């Protein structure tokens, strides 16, 4: 199977997680989601926070 790879250029570094991920365009919103997960919240709780 042949795969096409497209070049992706970004100024931001790649981050890998092993347990969860929170992503948004705003760093403070992402941090809010991370804090919810750290305090025992689930993915739905973090999504609402973001």
**Which pairs count as long-range contacts for 41-48, CB under 8 Å and 24+ apart, including other chains?**
46/20, 46/22
Q: How confident is the model at residue 1 (pLDDT cuts 50, 70, 90)?
A: low
Spatial separation of the C-alpha atoms in residues 16 and 40, rounded to whole Å? 20
Spatial separation of the C-alpha atoms in residues 36 and 50, rounded to whole Å? 10
Structure tokens at 3: 């795969």
Give residue-wise pLDDT tens across range 5-40: 777 777 877 777 788 889 899 999 999 999 999 999
Q: How confident is the model at residue 45 (pLDDT cuts 50, 70, 90)?
A: very high
């Amino acid at each position: 199977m042949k795969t096409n790879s497209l070049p992706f250029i970004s100024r931001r570094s790649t981050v890998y997680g092993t347990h969860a991920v929170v992503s948004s365009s705003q760093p403070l919103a992402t941090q809010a989601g991370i804090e919810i997960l750290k305090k025992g919240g689930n993915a739905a709780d973090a999504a609402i926070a973001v």
